[in-house]
Amino acid sequence: MSDLWNLLSAPEFYAMVLQLATPLVFAALAAVVSNKAGVLNIGIEGTMVLAALAAALFSTWSGSAFVGVVCGVGAGLLMGGFFALCAVRFRTNHILVGIAINLLSAGLAVFIVYAITGNKSDYPGIAMTPWDVPLFKEIPFVGDVLFRQVNPLVFVAVLCVFMIRFLFRRTVLGVRILAVGKNPVAAASVGIHTRRIKTVALLIAGGLAGLGGAYLSLGYMSNFNTGMVAGRGFIGIAAEAIGGGHPVATALFALVFGAVNAFSLAAQTFTSITVPYELLNTLPYLTTAAGLVVYSLIRYRQSTHHSSKRRISHEKSVGD
Amino acid sequence: MNNPSAWKKFFAHLRTWLIGPRWQTALIETVRTLGAIVIAYLIAFVIIALVSDDPQNAIRWFVLGPLSSSAERGEVLKNATPLLFAGIGACLIIRGGHFNMFTEGAFYAGGLIAALAAIYFDLPPALAITVPLLCGMAGSMIVGFLPAKLKTAYGVNEFVSSIMFNFIVLWVGVWLISNVVIDVSSGDNATRPIPDPSRLPILVRDTNVTVGILIAVAVALLAHLYLNRTKWGFAVRMSGDNPHFARHIGIPVAKAGTHSQVIGIGIAGLGGGVEILSNYRRFNWKTLPGYGFDGFMVAIMAKNKPLMVPYAALFIGYLRSGADLMAFNSDVAQEVVQIIQGLILILVASEAFFSSSWLRNRIGALKFRKKPDESGSEVADHV
């Protein structure tokens, strides 16, 4: 028990939660934007892999972490564009495009790393320098968590949450994305270019996933590893589903999953009880699955209370 | 017959006969799939040429290597076997209208449970193979029932939940083989050796082809019969094609969805057992084998027809062996296979690539089945 108390009272733990939640927030926001446009974007996972690789590659080549992040975002945009090309122009089933992109990027990442270095797992990157926010870092507990040695991309993630909220609340583009996602035929009938809007939404999602990937290889670690994304894209999609597509709620759920992830890592150092790390590793996935189930149960019960068309509404499947 | 209009008439008849409605679809689908394969290969060649110092050698091994000797041809069959199981499982799941990725975890669970059953149950030789395989199948079906039932009963997104289940199964399995059933003398996190009576017998001498491939083909036949000749198969197909209509005519859509997913997962679990009992001395998987996603790719290539799955699996098996040989004999990594697979998947699944309406608009003989043209309308793009 003292282990748990020590852990929960240490600011380092909360800083770690933020670190681990950041890629999930980016992935979840990418899922929000593409889901609002009516596309279930499974390719986020693969996009993150390639973006992480691009970030590591170009940061080493240029010697600057910033260039690496920009290239990571560029890779994300490229994959978003590829997704849009397949899903919107070639009219391929979204889930299949996602599966294909995941297959392709997993293969491509290993292939590129092998072609350059001759090994199949790691590529070094240049880590971003963490920021100290002057003045704020002096705040007793909060300062240690939020403003001391924090990766700039953590702030970018917070900013992105509110920017996405702003996008859907206050901008024409956001409303058009919503319209296209809700009912493409109606949207087209009032003159909205549905394909173009979908493409833009997928590009935004790709860029966000790219930020998440770049954070993984340049912020959370300082190298690219082929297994480093480890289902984070999918956890992001789950956070989006549980958050009901609201950017802030989604980000909060991503934070919860980040906390579970941080806990599962920190609990390996507990001395009073030893739980094997393999079982602790299941925790993030277990919570995600449980959260998804609870959310679906609540929504199911609501739909059975309020509507007589319950079978149809709950049958509404992923990605159509 | 010198009259040009008579010739024209004759050819029109010939074409109608050759390219009748039934053959037309088959022909177009074949051309589409072949076209996708050719394009993916060309892109792969370009990539290989970019990274390799000796692209000619690499491509020769990649394309001709798998056919060069009987041992290599056996390797193709060996690689195709797990893909065949995964592909059939994915077929059943997709036909029911679901994207349940637990075939991946089922491969792991099926393999682990089959290995444990073979090691720890003291089985008589007659049952030494069947009981572990059935245990693996049943075990993965029990785990796989959860995401399937959650989807059909409460609408839980089966794609995401099944992927979470994959990771959970993986880590529980890794925990088991590194703590509970670990054999320290192996020098690795692995189980005890699988006893010889439980290992699948070799089918072709001097190769690694086991009777697993026969089981796989039998399963493909059974899956075909199940989908196309039984009441439940009909329910599965109907609820996959149009759930609203299926419900309207009284088909229990939720039930059909659950059991198509569970059966598909069971087939993948059986595949995991077959894979472990034919090719491994001990169970030592520390990552997911990846056959779940490959299975979906194979199923899409086979147009979700169980009888076509063996051909698709054989092709991917050939691709794999070629890539392995290329990686062994040149400086190109075998992951180029995943790139090719992804490209083929996108091209085969895309409705606009080489679509029938696209072809019909270009080939006069096919015009007799022309539908109203939808390509120009803006609203037709939501899938």
B338 in a structural domain: yes
Examine the domain organization and report whether B120 and B33 are in the same domain. Answer: no
Examine the domain organization and report whether B228 and B175 are in the same domain. Answer: yes
Helix, strand, coil percent content, chain B, rounded in steps of 5 = 75, 0, 25
Examine the domain organization and report whether B303 and B362 are in the same domain. Answer: no
**Residue after which a domain boundary falls, among B324, B340, B374:** B324
Long-range contacts of A111-116 (CB under 8 A, 24+ apart): A111/B47, A111/B51, A111/B333, A111/B335, A111/B336, A111/B338, A111/B339, A112/A53, A112/A57, A113/A53, A113/A224, A113/A226, A114/B333, A114/B335, A115/B51, A115/B332, A115/B333, A116/A57
Q: Give the burial class of B359: count Cβ atoms within 10 A of its Cβ; 0-12 exposed, 13-18 middle, 19 or more buried.
A: middle
A131 forms bridges with which residues in the sheet? A150
B148 in a structural domain: yes
pLDDT, residue B2, reads 65
Sign of the CA dihedral B376, B379, B380, B383? positive
Q: Give how many domains chain B has, as a whole number.
A: 2
CA distances from B7 to A172, B1, B10, B20, B68 (A): 61, 7, 5, 19, 47
Interval A193-211: pLDDT, tens: 999 999 999 999 999 999 9
Contact B342 A107 (CB under 8 A): yes
Contact B171 A312 (CB under 8 A): no
Interval A165-179: pLDDT, tens: 999 999 999 999 999
- φ, ψ of residue A223 to 5 degrees: the values are -150, 165
Examine the domain organization and report whether B114 and B198 are in the same domain. Answer: yes
Structure tokens belonging to residue A123 = 């590529």
Examine the domain organization and report whether B125 and B45 are in the same domain. Answer: no
B67: three-class secondary structure by DSSP = helix
Interval B7-66: pLDDT, tens: 888 888 887 776 666 676 777 778 888 888 898 889 989 988 888 888 888 888 888 888
Give the separation between CA B113 and CA A162, rounded to whole angstroms: 48
Whether A275 has its CB under 8 Å from any CB of chain B: the answer is no
Examine the domain organization and report whether B47 and B91 are in the same domain. Answer: no
> Nearest by CB to B163, which of A38, A104, A234?
A234
Interval B264-315: pLDDT, tens: 999 999 999 999 998 888 888 888 888 888 898 899 888 888 999 999 999 9
Whether A188 has its CB under 8 Å from any CB of chain B: the answer is yes
Examine the domain organization and report whether B293 and B184 are in the same domain. Answer: yes
Closest chain B residue to the Cα of A180, Cα to Cα:
B382
Query: For chain A, which ranges sit under pLDDT 50?
Result: 308-320
Token pair 């077929």 is found at B91
As a whole number of Å, the end-to-end CA separation of chain B is 50
B11 in a structural domain: no
Q: Which of A83, A89, A103, A111 is nearest to B344 (CA)?
A: A103
Q: Which of B343, B269, B354, B329 is nearest to B54 (CA)?
A: B329
Whether A95 has its CB under 8 Å from any CB of chain B: the answer is yes
Q: What is the CATH number of the domain that holds B222?
A: 1.10.3470
Query: For chain B, which ranges sit under pLDDT 70?
Result: 1-2, 18-22, 24, 351-383
Q: What domains can be seen in chain A, in order of their start residue?
A: 2-315 (1.10.3470)
B286 in a structural domain: yes
Enter the ipTM.
0.85
pLDDT, residue B374, reads 45
Chain B closest CA to A136's CA: distance in Å?
39
Examine the domain organization and report whether B181 and B218 are in the same domain. Answer: yes
Examine the domain organization and report whether B242 and B294 are in the same domain. Answer: yes
Closest chain A residue to the Cα of B164, Cα to Cα:
A285
Examine the domain organization and report whether B203 and B303 are in the same domain. Answer: yes
Crossing angle for the helix pair A194-215 and A172-182, to the nearest 10 degrees: 110
Examine the domain organization and report whether B125 and B96 are in the same domain. Answer: yes
B372 in a structural domain: no
B1 in a structural domain: no
Its domain, for residue B356, covers: 22-52+332-366
Q: How many CB atoms lie within 10 A of CB A320?
A: 12
Examine the domain organization and report whether B220 and B359 are in the same domain. Answer: no
Whether A140 has its CB under 8 Å from any CB of chain B: the answer is no
**Residue after which a domain boundary falls, among B307, B324, B341:** B324
Q: Which of A87, A249, A96, A101 is nearest to A184 (CA)?
A: A87
pLDDT, residue B186, reads 76
B230 in a structural domain: yes
B376 in a structural domain: no
